[in-house]
Copies of this chain bind each other. A is one copy, B any other.
Amino acid sequence: MKSVNVGMVGYKFMGKAHSNAYRAVPMFFPQSAKPVMKAICGRDADALEAARAQFGWESAETNWRELVKRADIDLIDINAPSDAHKEIALAAAAEGKHIFCEKPLALTLADSIEMLKAAEAAGVKHMVGFNYRFAPAVQLAKKLIAEGRIGEIYHFRGWFLQDWILDPSFPLVWRLQKEIAGSGSHGDLGAHVIDLARYLVGEFREVIGMSETFVKERPLPTAMAGLSAKGDKDAPRGAVTVDDATLFLSRFENGALGSIEATRFAAGHRCTNAFEINGSKGSIKFDFERVNELQVYFTDDADDVQGFRRVLATDASHAYMDAWWPAGHTIGYEHTFTHEVVELMEAIAEDRPASPSFVDGVACQAVLEAVDRSIAERRWVSLSEFEESR
């Protein structure tokens, strides 16, 4: 059995989720190559040390340029804010390190392509953090489609609905600033839906979208604030430079029709990452707020008992569940990361490409930009305009 030495850049929300996954793999997936938590990296030395101790990393680095050069590191995990992804990834590739990068891969398609090319040139493994693929219920959806049990796909409907910035006095955190985040709900939430659509249905052919920023100015935050920051109504205000909501229609290469929406203004939806797929032989529904469940309908069920089944995807027959608890004992959000790391560890150990890789990161970025262009130019945009992303 192999082990993989990890150096991780970032220690906030995603840094915590990744750390937990690295800790969980050896215990729940002992047959997997083992991630070794060598070093965590961030700029604020005190906060970093606290995170190191809490999350269980062996060492800390305040300069990522030092981290990527360390001989004892096999894999660089990048979950710093999005504007830092590219530079770190390029440096990691140059040092021959495997790379695990959170989504969105970069602020622009061009940057993400550069990252992919660098990783490929270096011959390292690369993975992008589309963790929702790794919910066992989503894995089941994939399996049903792959086995033809849903038939030819006609429709994909996907939403990622949140409400954490609904209050106009919520502060202007980095996720609301284009120069750091790249985009708003589109790149943060829509990217996940786009990835699930590509994973389950296939490639996009053309798109047309619209977007809106409902609250155009917000109080400046006093410090780097997370998802649950409290705003000060009387603080000076700055412009929100990303989208609050982005919707688009699409056609897929296989002829399916798509409708995708990402918003942070859907009151009552804390984290509704949901989709429905309709095919010639059945349908599938998923909602991340009930991450253990998949709704499945088959047209060939007996006439008098046709209906959506609520499958609790916690049986031993469901992906990854054998490693956890007996049937019916649910898992949650964090487990998607654990499964993701298992895939990455296995790819490294077996010397095969990881999935989703930067190829998927680039493809997703192309769709994001195609939608952006369709909004800017108010027209249908074909993915063929982004040939370089194929």
Residues of A within 8 A of B (CB): 13, 17, 19-20, 23, 26-27, 30, 53-56, 140, 143-144, 154-155, 157, 159, 161-162, 164, 166, 208-210, 212, 214, 226-228, 245, 247-249, 251, 255, 257, 259, 261, 263, 265-272, 276, 278-283, 288-292, 296-299, 301, 303-312, 314-318, 324-335, 378-380
Residue pair A23, B27 in contact (C-beta under 8 Å): yes
Listed residue (A54, A226, A268, A297) with the most chain B CB atoms within 10 angstroms of its CB: A268
**Sample of 19 further A-B pairs with CB below 8 A, known A272-B328, A289-B312:** A155-B245, A157-B261, A162-B328, A164-B326, A212-B255, A228-B316, A247-B249, A265-B278, A267-B297, A268-B282, A268-B308, A269-B278, A270-B312, A271-B326, A288-B330, A303-B315, A307-B309, A329-B332, A332-B335
Number of copies of this chain that the complex holds: 4
Residue pair B307, A310 in contact (C-beta under 8 Å): yes
Minimum C-beta distance from A154 to chain B (A): 5
Residue pair B263, A283 in contact (C-beta under 8 Å): no
Give every chain B residue within 8 A of A248 (Cβ-Cβ).
249
User: Complex Cα distance A268/B280, Å?
Assistant: 11
Give every chain B residue within 8 A of A162 (Cβ-Cβ).
328
Minimum C-beta distance from A217 to chain B (A): 16
Name the residue of chain B whose CB is nearest to the CB of A330. Answer: B332
Residue pair B303, A270 in contact (C-beta under 8 Å): no
Residue pair A155, B379 in contact (C-beta under 8 Å): no
Minimum C-beta distance from A186 to chain B (A): 13
Residue pair B306, A268 in contact (C-beta under 8 Å): yes
